[in-house]
Amino acid sequence: MSEPTTSDLVDVQIDGVWHQFPKGTRIIEACRQVGVEVPHYCYHPKLSSPGNCRMCLVQMGTPPRTAPGAEPTAPDETGHLPISWSPRPIIACANTVSPNLGIRTKGDLVDDCRKGVLEFLLANHPLDCPICDKAGECGLQEYSMEHGVGQSTFRERKVKKPKNVDVGPRIRLDDERCIMCSRCIRFVDEIVDDPVLGFTDRGSYTTLMVYPGRELANNYSLNTVDICPVGALTSNDFRFQMRVWFMRETKTIDTNCATGCNITVYARENKIYRVMPRRNNEVNSDWMPDSHRLSFHWIDGEDRLSDPMLKAEGGFRTANWIEVIKAAAKRLSGLSGDQIAIVASARMTNEELYVVSKLAKQLGSELLATVPRQGEPDGYLISADRNPNTNGARLILGEKAVSGGLDRVKSAIQQGQIKALLVFQEDLIADTGLDGVSLKKLDFLLVAHSCANETTAIADIAVPAACWAEVSGTMINGTGRLQRLNKALEGPGQTLPVWEIARDLLRALGSDDNCQSVTEIFRHLADDVAEFKGVAWGQIGDQGMPLIETGEIIPLLERERERKAAGIIVG
């Protein structure tokens, strides 16, 4: 889009101060841009604006019309015409700015409107905030505190509606709490093309329903819970698990596919309770798939490795890191480079991959591989590549490691050329078709993984590695965007991130490499790998930055851009 020229800008007065906005800007967005919040329920920048909640009413004024034959009013010394205020309020969400427009978001008229709207919304709303999952982040609670009357004049019986309705496999609906903003209806219709929700009945009896015989079951259904301004739609997974005010928020990214949806992790006392999408208009808009959102439960599972394990008589014994690293270095030091292979994971961060690549250099090993994961793209946000950092692995380990690397490692193992294999964050038996028999041919197998699995069971040394929620670092998504992960949890027991494990091995093998933090590794990485040249950690930010061109597109974003260009949504 080209920069707006001066003639595309219009003068608008907001709460007594003149500003300039491009033509076509919604009044609510104009106010937001200058730091004036207009309360709203039905408006959402990524959805169409039906203007049905009436919460965003503001007072509007235009220049007085000149009577026929009269002299037009002259502009004042600032070049603005006087404003004659309309006695009738307008909605800020669906109206756009016009030249010399005046907007008042405060004052008696606006205050009365807000009080009235809130009183009507609360007339039938149950007072079950103590059990409602939305309490603490509820739009109705917040605006009632800010703009409400505090007391109800409603003396009649409240309208009874269905509660605890099972509308889909992951969602529960409470119709009494619904304030009929229709965000969920518009979301399933406009974004995920699964229009199963709608209103029935009229007036006070308007009820949100799922189409008879259908379910709200699409893979994006939980986004309706996020955009619901009240507790009408709640997630079965999160229902009654934790009150929102207890949880600590960490901004990070999803690692279930190459899209790398931006997310916020909500955790309390080292346990994740929910994951929510975070706005990034270049990656995931405001949404994320349910399958990715709910895939965090294994993190506090029973099968997490918590201590380094050494093979001993009839099984394993737990050991400490010093012992294990010494033992591994001893087993590796006698071997030449072509007897050692390394399988890393494209689920690891760039920093982890970089230290592993250094380890490969130190060992003189040329056989490096990652495990590819391909699936069907869903045409919305899920990419065909189910590894989150294939692009990072390609840049840091080299193209050879990513394409065909695994086949070369496999055949070298089967031919018996390989004596030692180091595996980072991959379960070879479950995910690559390598069987235990050929892996047992190896003299030495070291596996660093977050969970105990079939591969760790036959390893000589199995060590606990931190998972995506327990590390900070960077990844490059399918479209070539460099994005940051932030550590939300501490790993169980003696767990260490892969970069620390690889660094300790490096040092035990005689290297003087002594990186102490991911930011330090990133600095070395930026010096070393051409594509990262000149990029500083602090530059990446919460929204990431484009790093390379891959030509891949995210279908949902393409459709969003079309709708934005057509003026249907704000974007």
Which residues in this chain contact other proteins in the complex, by CB under 8 A? 126-131, 135, 157-158, 163-164, 239-241, 243, 245-246
Q: How far apart are CA 101 and CA 80, in angstroms?
A: 10
Are the C-beta atoms of 406 and 372 separated by less than 8 Å?
Answer: yes
Are the C-beta atoms of 177 and 194 separated by less than 8 Å?
Answer: no
Strand runs labelled E in 86-236: 90-91, 101-104, 165-168, 171-173, 197-200, 207-210, 233-235
Tell me how crowded residue 494 is: count the other CB atoms within 10 A of its CB: 16
Which of 48, 236 has the CB closer to other proteins? 236
Which of 211, 240 has the CB closer to other proteins? 240
Residue 260 region by backbone torsions, left for phi larger than 0, else alpha for psi between -120 and 50, else beta: left
Q: Which of 477, 529, 487, 493 is nearest to 347 (CA)?
A: 477
CB of 234 to other proteins, least distance (A): 10
CB of 268 to other proteins, least distance (A): 11
Which of 204, 241 has the CB closer to other proteins? 241
CB of 239 to other proteins, least distance (A): 7
Which of 165, 506 has the CB closer to other proteins? 165
Which of 165, 381 has the CB closer to other proteins? 165
Helices (H), 345-389: 350-363
Which of 6, 245 has the CB closer to other proteins? 245
Which of 133, 427 has the CB closer to other proteins? 133
Q: How far apart are CA 225 and CA 232, in angstroms?
A: 8
Beta bridge partners of residue 501, listed in sequence order: none
CB of 481 to other proteins, least distance (A): 38
Which of 61, 126 has the CB closer to other proteins? 126
- Neighbouring residues of 360: CB distance < 8 A, sequence distance ≥ 6: 342, 366, 368, 397
Amino acid at 540: I
Using CA atoms, how far residue 93 sits from 50, 82, 405, 562, in Å, is: 9, 24, 54, 20
Helices (H), 415-509: 428-431, 436-440, 454-457, 498-508
CB of 130 to other proteins, least distance (A): 4
Give the total residue count for the chain: 571
CB of 248 to other proteins, least distance (A): 14
Which of 85, 154 has the CB closer to other proteins? 154
CB of 228 to other proteins, least distance (A): 17
Q: How far apart are CA 84 and CA 62, in angstroms?
A: 6
Q: Read off the tokens for 571.
A: 């974007």
CB of 131 to other proteins, least distance (A): 4
Q: Which of 494, 474, 465 is nearest to 547 (CA)?
A: 474
Question: What distance lies between CA 96 and its chain's CA centroid?
Answer: 30
Q: How far apart are CA 450 and CA 489, in angstroms?
A: 13
- Neighbouring residues of 481: CB distance < 8 A, sequence distance ≥ 6: 260, 282, 283, 544, 545, 546, 547
Which of 242, 335 has the CB closer to other proteins? 242
Which of 163, 330 has the CB closer to other proteins? 163
Which of 104, 125 has the CB closer to other proteins? 125
CB of 125 to other proteins, least distance (A): 10
CB of 221 to other proteins, least distance (A): 20
Beta bridge partners of residue 367, listed in sequence order: 341
Which of 23, 243 has the CB closer to other proteins? 243
CB of 175 to other proteins, least distance (A): 14
- Neighbouring residues of 188: CB distance < 8 A, sequence distance ≥ 6: 194, 195, 196, 197, 216, 218, 221, 224
CB of 266 to other proteins, least distance (A): 15
59 phi and psi angles, rounded to 5 deg: -90, 140
Tell me how crowded residue 500 is: count the other CB atoms within 10 A of its CB: 20
CB of 152 to other proteins, least distance (A): 13
User: C-alpha angle with apex 479: 256 to 430, nearest 5 degrees?
Assistant: 30
